[in-house]
Amino acid sequence: MTDIPALRRGLAVLRLLAGRAGPVTAAYVARELGLPRSTTYHLLAELTTAGFVTHLPEERRYGLGLAAFELGSAYLRHDPLERLARPVLRALLERTGHVGQLGVLHGRETLYLLREQPARHATVVTDVGVRLPAHLPASGRAMLGALPAAQVRALFPSRAAFVDRTGRGPTDLPSLRRLLTAARRRGWAVEDGYVTPGFASVAAPVLDHSGHPIAAISTTFRHECDPECGETWPELAAETKRAAAELSTRIGGTNR
């Protein structure tokens, strides 16, 4: 039983980090939780070793690690999220006539959990159960764009983390950051042939009560251009954002 207080303190650290917009210092953690600094550093070191916390030595700050995202994604893959999302995707399909999908972040990949499609539709690669590099599909970048910059950097630490499928899309962290900044300013993410030639998509994040992206809803449709034309499809994006906002509300999140 002597380990129970340590467990409680470790969980308190994770809850604190999850509720902040970006990485924080150890001193901040100690002050907010009323812990001795030596205890705080020990907890942070153990959580970092386990992958639940990421240490940013240049900034002397700590943020959530990949294991925390994977744990959250595992929960979200269970039936409750899919049951809540299915009628939202069906309504989106009725409004747009295009494929609607639900995806979650799993590490630096997007995992597709649910898809609603017209009776007749062209085949797309993003089927249920498929995983794609999160920097390529609009759904992945919709979620990445709602994360703190330091956590995006932790997910994509080098050029080796960037996979190329069609010759389009970001190939390094600076180019990914430019796309994420544009998506935040616009209000939705866009993908034009990054995953499958001849197909494009728009996506918006589903946010929890703290504004953290727990999923994304995307609309995928046929589109061809060479070179990339820069279209952003605001009408389809408005319907997709409406669906994402509805699902955010249904899970007790925010429409921000």
Give the per-residue pLDDT at 121.
61
pLDDT, tens digit (0-9, with 9 covering 90-100), for 118-164: 877 655 656 677 889 999 999 999 999 999 898 899 899 899 999 99
Query: Nearest CA to 255 among 205, 181, 217?
Result: 205
Please give the structure tokens belonging to residue 202.
Answer: 């728009």
Bridge partner residues of 101 (DSSP): 115, 218
Place of tokens 């809803």: 217
234: Cβ contacts below 8 Å, ≥ 6 apart: none
Residue 24: helix, strand or coil by DSSP? strand
Give the per-residue pLDDT at 2.
46
Indicate the burial class of 46 (C-beta count within 10 angstroms; 0-12, 13-18, 19 or more): middle
The 10 Å CB-count burial string (b at 16+, else e) for 161-186 is ebeebeebbbeebeebbebbeebeee
Place of tokens 């939705």: 188
Rounded to an integer, the average pLDDT of 159-172 is 92
Confidence band of 75 (pLDDT split at 50, 70, 90) = low
Q: 4-18 vs 37-49: helix axis angle to the nearest 10?
A: 80
High-pLDDT (> 70) share of the chain, %: 91
pLDDT, tens digit (0-9, with 9 covering 90-100), for 198-223: 999 999 999 988 888 999 999 999 99
Half-sphere exposure of 158 (CA within 13 A, CB side): 1
Confidence band of 1 (pLDDT split at 50, 70, 90) = very low
